[in-house]
Structure 1
Amino acid sequence: MNNWRQRYHIEPKSGWLNDPNGLCFFKGYYHVFYQYAYEPVGGNKYWAHLKSKDLINWEEAPLFLSPDKEFDKNGAYSGCALVKDDMMHIFYTGNVKHKGDFDYINTGRENNTVHAVSKDGECVDSKNVIMFNKDYPDGLTLHVRDPKVFEYEGKYYMVLGARTKEDKGEVLVYESEDLDSWNHIRTFETMAKFGYMWECPDLFEINGQWILMACPQGLEGGKYEFQNIYSCGYFIIDGDFRKNGYIVEYKEADLGFDFYAPQTFTHEGRRLLLGWMGMPDAKYTNPTVEYGYQHCMSTFRELDFDNDTLIMKPAKEYESLRKHCFDFDEENKSYSVGDDRAFDLETQNFGDKFDIEIFDTLKLDFDSGRGDFELSFIANGYGRDARYIRVKKIENLRLMIDASSVEVFVNDGKYVMSNRMYPSEYKDIKVNGNITGKLYKLDV
Structure 2
Amino acid sequence: YTSAYKPGSEHEGVQAQSLAYSLDGGYTWTKHTDNPVLNRGSAEFRDPKVIRYDGGAGSYWVMVAVEATDFQVVLYKSEDLKNWEYLSSFGPANATGGVWECPDLFQLPVDGDPENLQWVLTVNLNPGGPNNGSAGQYFVGDFDGTTFTSATTVTEGLQDPGRLGEYRWLDWGRDYYAAVSFSDAPEGRRLMIGWMNNWDYANHIPTTPWRSPMSLARDITLQTRDG
Q: Distance in 2 between matches of 1:284 and 1:256?
A: 19
Q: Distance in 1 between matches of 2:207 and 2:80?
A: 44
> Given the alignment, which residue of 25, 29, 36 partners 1:129?
36
3-state DSSP of counterpart to 2:207: helix
Q: 1:280 to 1:108 in 2, by over 3 A?
A: farther
- Relative to its length, the structure with more strand (as a share) is 1
Amino acid at match of 2:134: Y
Percent identity for Structure 1 against Structure 2: 31
2:99 is the counterpart of 1:197 = yes
Q: Which runs of 5+ in 1 are unaligned?
A: 1-91, 100-106, 135-140, 220-224, 310-444
- C-alpha RMSD of the superposition: 2.6
Give TM-score, length-normalised by structure 2: 0.76
Q: Distance in 2 between matches of 1:263 and 1:271?
A: 10
Amino acid at match of 1:246: S
* Deviation of 1:108 (Å): 5.7
Q: 1:239 to 1:216 in 2, by over 3 A?
A: same
Q: Which runs of 5+ in 2 are unaligned?
A: 110-116, 154-166
2:125 is the counterpart of 1:216 = yes
Q: 1:264 to 1:283 in 2, by over 3 A?
A: closer
Amino acid at match of 2:102: C
Q: 1:195 to 1:124 in 2, by over 3 A?
A: same
* Deviation of 1:241 (Å): 5.7
1:386-397 to 2 correspondences below 5 Å:
none
> Given the alignment, which residue of 141, 144, 148 partners 1:237?
141
State the Cα deviation string for residues 126-157 of structure 1 (Å, max 9, x = none): 333201243xxxxxx51010000010112110
Q: Distance in 2 between matches of 1:246 and 1:257?
A: 25
Amino acid at match of 1:146: D
2:3 is the counterpart of 1:94 = yes
1:390-405 to 2 correspondences below 5 Å:
none
2:194 is the counterpart of 1:275 = yes
Give TM-score, length-normalised by structure 1: 0.40
1:31-430 to 2 correspondences below 5 Å:
92-98=1-7, 109-120=13-24, 121-127=26-32, 128-134=35-41, 141-153=42-54, 154-163=59-68, 167-190=69-92, 194-207=96-109, 208-219=117-128, 226-238=130-142, 240=144, 242-243=146-147, 245-246=149-150, 248-249=152-153, 250-265=167-182, 266-268=184-186, 269-282=188-201, 285-289=204-208, 292-307=209-224
Q: 1:156 to 1:97 in 2, by over 3 A?
A: same
What is the number of equivalent residue pairs in this alignment? Answer: 195
State the Cα deviation string for residues 381-424 of structure 1 (Å, max 9, x = none): xxxxxxxxxxxxxxxxxxxxxxxxxxxxxxxxxxxxxxxxxxxx
State the Cα deviation string for residues 172-203 of structure 1 (Å, max 9, x = none): 00011111111111001136782352100001
Amino acid at match of 1:298: S
